[in-house]
Structure 1
């Protein structure tokens, strides 16, 4: 059989007994030790591997959701038994325990093969700032791999591990994904615990996930995203962002996705990257997406605060004692960047906080008009020699689209988007507000299937998405058009029954919409009208058939459940309205949907 690349494929191979953890993990550890791209700082020993294998004895994927899955850990995240260096030999220490998220993954059956190379103290987006050498791009050794999570990304792209942990303060969990044709998930701040992480900027840091598919990321986020009460920046994940919200099939259809105005895009002279981004926008349109031009300026201005403002003082605070004792133990470029924090004042910090909040109000307002925003993950890529010749300016160019994300408290997923004329990967990022992680995974899954590029640098084909609830026995699809829409007051009635969003779409052009009397909550009535109707915005959800009865009991007159025709000709179960109700109702068909009507009314 072909060597499994993804988590899901490997678990299936174990379950069918086509592979054994002993043989597969021994092979993967040998590959890690033979790596020539400077990916690894240290791998586990044979004795440590034997210990992990012993913990799997007598168990299977039915017992452990990550049974025998090899992964890599960025070396600013603690793993008991190996030193943590943060990319600086003089800083190294031996942790007493593993980081919270590392231990959670190990408890689920995953096996860490070692610690990966990074830009020193996670300061950089290039992957060249390490005494262990520059991590080489998985497609071309002459090019940068992206940083700071360079080694973690390349180990996934080359198939040495099935997934890896990185971190992201300014883009480190997304840029390396773009440069190596894999996926990078920067979940909402606080969703994945940072206990056991050497901080870069503690108030902004995220531990991130690299993998090949959204199915893998969804599974990993279930395990890695547990709330850690010992992390003062952790936040409980809301019900609406649990695994039940992940549903990639047709997820892009009917969505509004923002895109920066053309004059606000920057590709730094890379015409191939520019052409691929244009092609990505065209591809989104073919998936039923409505692209909405947005003003990217407040996002770009917020990004400048990360390094030009006082947040660089957080990097200083993270290693203050070590830095003050002898800053020359850092690489010169790191010494320059972190040393720039000296002289920053509390007054500077508060002024920047006020400015950031002003930008956030603007940016949040823009995000509220769309389902997500699409941007290039990076506008261009450079050779290692080019970056070494001009390390700060070119690093800044790479971060043009990434530095604002954690400052503004957004979630993001980096996705492959084709190969440049140089033979190097190009990527896009979809981002949205905090706790939109599962929605972004759904969008990303639909996008990746539409593109169909091979996995990483392995040439392995992209597997089909895992079967969704909508295609499984015991589930029923339900179209909603009013207060049960995502984010509206009665949506919780679907979520508490385990419902999942399938897609946003429209009815056929044969319906009228009415605002019914009464409320709150205010409700619409949808009535079929063959001759003078219109297409009305709806969402299709899927929920367990066992939950349909209790849902139906809560529907008041004059509403009920019946069949509604969608724009693609399919008929699905939906809310319908008794005809007599329109006598006291306001016709709102002209608004095209309940959201627009309620927005106008408010």
Structure 2
């Protein structure tokens, strides 16, 4: 019988080089036909010199997390003088220098003047940085502007806690999504302020979120806010309407705000820039008086309507704002680079189990499920509430990884009473985090039939708590 030969192995797709990405950026720039975005646009030859240098560094084996990322920088932020430059700084602002050191390439400098939007030229679009990102000319943009330009162009904006970035003025990162913005922030972070030892990294499965009940919003902005409220509620958050700004964060993990109340025409905005600017900033203006972190996202993935929402959290609780925003964007939750320690749990500290509240109250952040190598086993301990002890054995176990701030980790460790101990486990991904394990001397009935504590709990809920046979 004749048989067809096996399909060849798929050929891996080679990512574009920095030079190729720069050429593509200039092609998009030409197609867009928006010269008013730029106060300084570098010559393609100069940008390609930088891109080729990045390509050479990659070939030499350097790990450049932003290799070939094309960025724009608002005119108020320093960018180092190029060989042909005149009247510009000798050095870049630290936020720019850290991105270019990681492989980013600067395309040019954008203006802060009001221009038309990315998707509708008859509408106001805020500054050039947000429009350049929305049109896909650049991957990232740095701006001293805030949430409003991002909302008017349906892009993401992240403004970290003041002082986390090395800049005298607050810098926002505009990007097409949260993952790209968070990656840039991780590289730029390191300013005048340090993370508190007891910083909260998470708000649990049921975060408490306040949203305004009394802001004058247009029909589209109202729809956008209610859409996000419904989506967060479905995800398990507890939403409460309040009057702003009286209560602020009192009793809540975050504030959810419509970013703009309307989308004015560009003619009206140019005729009365102060009046229109005041109206557009009305939803988030009070936040400028607070020490907060802010994340602005479009209402739904791919939605180009300019009525995004902004999540505000207390200073240094940037991670909570980022995680809440992912509910709107359907992007994976990614960690901001706070200091902390990972802990793996297998029993009553799992989500939905009796002791999980201890982790939530400490501000721990759930970072994902894990599975160990086939080197462990569980036994049933005589504790209240019932818990498993994890010992050496020959089974792979399912658990969860949580991240705690340094102070929270110390408090969590202090809650563990004998026979529980913190020891490292080997996970299937090769990492070896600390985990809640058991003193080998405290044995108990074996749970060898189960690879997870939840599996045993399901068994016990029908068969009754007893020693498994």
Asked whether the two chains share a fold, i.e. TM above 0.5, the reply is yes
The yes-or-no answer on 1:414 pairing with 2:296 is yes
Name 1:139's counterpart in structure 2: 119
Deviates more, 1:92-101 or 1:215-224: 92-101
Name 1:46's counterpart in structure 2: 44
Query: Cα distance 1:277–1:482, how it changes in 2: closer, same or farther (>3 A)?
Result: closer
Separation in structure 2 between the aligned mates of residue 466 and residue 280 of structure 1, nearest angstrom: 17
Shift of 1:97: 1.2
Name 1:281's counterpart in structure 2: 229
Name 2:442's counterpart in structure 1: none
CA RMSD of aligned residues (A): 3.9
Separation in structure 2 between the aligned mates of residue 23 and residue 430 of structure 1, nearest angstrom: 36
Separation in structure 1 between the aligned mates of residue 131 and residue 163 of structure 2, nearest angstrom: 25
* 1:142-193, Cα deviation, whole Å (9 max, x unpaired): 00012xxx111111111111111011xxxx3211111111110011111112
Query: Conserved in 1, the CA contact under 8 Å of 2:19 and 2:55?
Result: no
Q: Which runs of 5+ in 2 are unaligned?
A: 1-11, 336-341, 369-382, 388-399, 422-435, 439-451, 458-469
Separation in structure 1 between the aligned mates of residue 456 and residue 63 of structure 2, nearest angstrom: 37
Query: Conserved in 2, the CA contact under 8 Å of 1:75 and 1:118?
Result: yes
Name 1:55's counterpart in structure 2: 53
Query: Cα distance 1:107–1:18, how it changes in 2: closer, same or farther (>3 A)?
Result: closer
The yes-or-no answer on 1:20 pairing with 2:14 is no
Separation in structure 1 between the aligned mates of residue 41 and residue 456 of structure 2, nearest angstrom: 54
Query: Conserved in 1, the CA contact under 8 Å of 2:73 and 2:143?
Result: yes
Relative contact order (C-alpha < 8 Å, sep 6+): which is higher? 1
Separation in structure 1 between the aligned mates of residue 328 and residue 204 of structure 2, nearest angstrom: 8
What TM-score, normalized by structure 1, do the two folds share? 0.55
Separation in structure 1 between the aligned mates of residue 89 and residue 177 of structure 2, nearest angstrom: 32
Shift of 1:206: 0.6
Separation in structure 2 between the aligned mates of residue 418 and residue 371 of structure 1, nearest angstrom: 22
SS in 2 for 1:181: coil
State how many pairs are aligned: 371
The equivalences for 1:312-391 within 5 A come to 366-391=248-273
SS in 1 for 2:124: coil
The equivalences for 1:165-204 within 5 A come to 165-167=142-144, 172-194=145-167
Name 2:366's counterpart in structure 1: 501
* 1:398-441, Cα deviation, whole Å (9 max, x unpaired): 011222223211111011115999x7321111101100111211
Name 1:73's counterpart in structure 2: 73
Shift of 1:48: 2.1
Greater share of residues in helix: 1
SS in 2 for 1:373: strand
Separation in structure 2 between the aligned mates of residue 50 and residue 391 of structure 1, nearest angstrom: 38
SS in 1 for 2:129: helix
What TM-score, normalized by structure 2, do the two folds share? 0.69
Separation in structure 1 between the aligned mates of residue 314 and residue 118 of structure 2, nearest angstrom: 31
Query: Cα distance 1:501–1:272, how it changes in 2: closer, same or farther (>3 A)?
Result: same
* 1:507-566, Cα deviation, whole Å (9 max, x unpaired): xxxxxxxxxxxxxxxxxx96269xxxxxxxxxx75369xxx9xx8798224878699xxx
Separation in structure 2 between the aligned mates of residue 572 and residue 210 of structure 1, nearest angstrom: 44
The yes-or-no answer on 1:485 pairing with 2:359 is yes
Query: Conserved in 1, the CA contact under 8 Å of 2:326 and 2:333?
Result: no
Separation in structure 1 between the aligned mates of residue 119 and residue 193 of structure 2, nearest angstrom: 37
Say which of 266, 282, 286 aligns to 1:400.
282
Query: Cα distance 1:443–1:224, how it changes in 2: closer, same or farther (>3 A)?
Result: same
